[in-house]
Amino acid sequence: MINEIQKDAQERMKKSVAAMIEAFKKVRTGRATPAILDGVMVNYYGSDTPIAQVANIIVEDGRSLAVNPWEKNMIPEIEKAIMKANLGLNPATSGDVIRIPMPPLTEETRKEYIKQARAEAEKGRVSVRNIRRDANGDIKALLKEKEISEDEQRGGEEQIQKLTDKFIAEVDQLLADKEKDLMQV
């Protein structure tokens, strides 16, 4: 019983950390990465479609992206979608390719991105703690129904706490790495 609760909590905590990593990808660093455009939706024949499904996105060099639309008539739609996404990017078309230079980060924008990363990390921590609370609640319910002893309850809660500490440490390490990445000039 307790092992199932622990496995469930561990899986859910892994998913929380994975969601935070995905959120970190959207926090822009000075380097070009196709993940920046993940949230951009393009109007493709009347329906909103992720940009990755209508074009190939490659990193040309460390400071610019190249978007190669699969259909030439999509170029203006893709440009419009990138501008509407409010990412602070200015696409420029040259022939069949849309080039997106990454503007260098100022000290002020770096600090804003760090605040954004810290907020995402805090969401990750809160999520992990909520999972701990749920798991401990499940363990207490088992004790109340007399399915486990108090010693088993205490041991189960200690295991859940160790799991929580491990995932909180992982969140903190990922945040430290992201901050270091953002502060690189």
Pick the CATH number of 34-101 from 1.10.150.20, 3.40.50.1580, 3.30.1360.40, 3.40.50.300: 3.30.1360.40
pLDDT of residue 45: 86
Cβ proximity of 13 and 1 under 8 Å: no
Domain with CATH 1.10.132.20 in the chain: 2-26+106-183
Please write the tens of the pLDDT for every residue from 45-63. 888 889 888 999 998 887 8
Cβ proximity of 129 and 164 under 8 Å: yes
pLDDT of residue 29: 66
Domain with CATH 3.30.1360.40 in the chain: 34-101
Cβ proximity of 95 and 133 under 8 Å: no
pTM for this model (two decimals) = 0.72
Q: In terms of Cα–Cα distance, which of 18, 34, 39 is closest to 123?
A: 18
Q: Cα(48)–Cα(79) distance, rounded to whole angstroms? A: 14
Please write the tens of the pLDDT for every residue from 5-23. 999 999 999 999 999 988 8
CATH class of 2-26+106-183: mainly alpha
